[in-house]
């Protein structure tokens, strides 16, 4: 049981490039989330999903897109990377008792 896995661990992008952050969970959880973590700011919700085929915006969705074609996978897409998207990105899934399980994170730098 691997829990929540994220790839890549680190990435450097140039301004305007695009990339997809991968997230997979093997706990059969319906709810999944993407957060970004900036120093001193806690975690901000980017997008979330309540099940396959259903996604919704969180607090800071601009510049990002998501899809949820399966229960297991919840990729986050950055289309035109900007320096403001330099951050650490965490994916999470929610278990039976509202507890969220987090992946190890992806550290993204946009130069």
Site residues (CB under 8 A) for other proteins? 4, 31, 33, 40-45, 48, 50, 58, 90, 92, 94, 97-100, 102-105
Minimum CB distance to other proteins, residue 15 (Å): 26
Is 109:11 a contact under the CB 8 Å cutoff? Answer: yes
Query: For residues 17 and 100, which CB has a smaller minimum distance to other proteins in the complex?
Result: 100
Range 61-66 contact pairs with CB under 8 angstroms and sequence separation of 24 or more = 64/34, 66/34
Show the tokens assigned to 28: 């059969």
Least distance in Å: CB of 69 to other proteins? 21
At its nearest, how many Å lie between other proteins and the CB of residue 93? 12
Structure tokens at 102: 């987090």
Rounded distance between C-alpha atoms, residue 52 and residue 65, angstroms: 15
* Residue (1 or 42) nearer to other proteins, CB: 42
């Amino acid at each position: 049981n691997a829990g929540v896995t994220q790839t890549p661990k680190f990435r450097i992008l140039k301004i305007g490039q695009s990339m997809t952050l991968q997230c997979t969970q093997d706990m059969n959880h319906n709810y999944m989330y993407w957060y970004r973590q900036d120093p001193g700011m806690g975690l901000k919700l980017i997008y979330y999903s309540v099940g396959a085929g259903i996604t919704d915006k969180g607090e800071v969705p601009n510049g990002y897109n998501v899809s949820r074609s399966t229960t297991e996978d919840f990729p986050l897409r950055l289309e035109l990377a900007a320096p403001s998207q330099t951050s650490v990105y965490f994916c999470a899934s929610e278990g039976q008792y509202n507890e969220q399980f987090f992946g190890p994170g992806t550290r993204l730098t946009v130069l």
